[in-house]
Amino acid sequence: MRFVRNRGTWGTYFERLVRFPGHPETNQLETVIGKLCTWPRRSGTSLVFHLSTPVCDTPRTRGGPCWHFGEIIWHPGNRLDLVVVYRNHDFFNKALGNFIGLGQLLNFICAASGKTPGRLLCHSVHAYNGGGTEALRALAA
């Protein structure tokens, strides 16, 4: 059995961080790291990532980007938190992988900017168990 990713036309989250649809010159990740490296100490500052836009992401129940918003919060002591907002979040099939990837993203940003990783905070507007009750019972057994 061959695993095939079906990303549709919206791409990947990383692509949206470094080359936003319709604005390929916009590299949000590079901009945030640059600000963290060049701004004077700014404890309490927040830097924002946008991963969706009404221009290219029409309302849909499934099949589009679920991670919509990210924010780096710069705390005293050069500690960075990453806050993310998901519109839909499948806690059975995807959440663990999402959390690992987001943790790696936070670690990368901190390593590139000389900061210390803090907390990963995730707000899921609609969290659901995509695996079903039977699958959860089998996993817990």
Question: Given its phi and psi angles, is residue 65 left (phi above 0), alpha (psi -120 to 50 degrees) or beta?
Answer: beta
Asked if residue 68 belongs to a domain, the reply is yes
The mean pLDDT value of the chain amounts to: 81
Residue in this structure with the two tokens 């990713």, named with its chain if needed: 5
Provide the pLDDT for residue 102: 93
Asked if residue 116 belongs to a domain, the reply is yes
Count the domains in the chain.
1
Asked if residue 134 belongs to a domain, the reply is yes
Domain residues for 48? 13-53+64-140
Q: What is the pLDDT of residues 18-66, one digit of tens each?
A: 987 777 788 999 999 999 999 887 667 789 988 877 777 666 656 667 7
Report the CATH number at residue 132: 3.30.572.10
Asked if residue 4 belongs to a domain, the reply is no
Asked if residue 58 belongs to a domain, the reply is no
What is the pTM (predicted TM-score) of this model?
0.81
Provide the pLDDT for residue 46: 87
Asked if residue 99 belongs to a domain, the reply is yes
Chain centre distance of CA 59: 19
- Which residues are within 8 A (CB) of 52 and not within 5 positions of it... i.e. 6 or more apart? 16, 64, 65, 68, 69
Asked if residue 118 belongs to a domain, the reply is yes
More confident call, 4 vs 140: 140
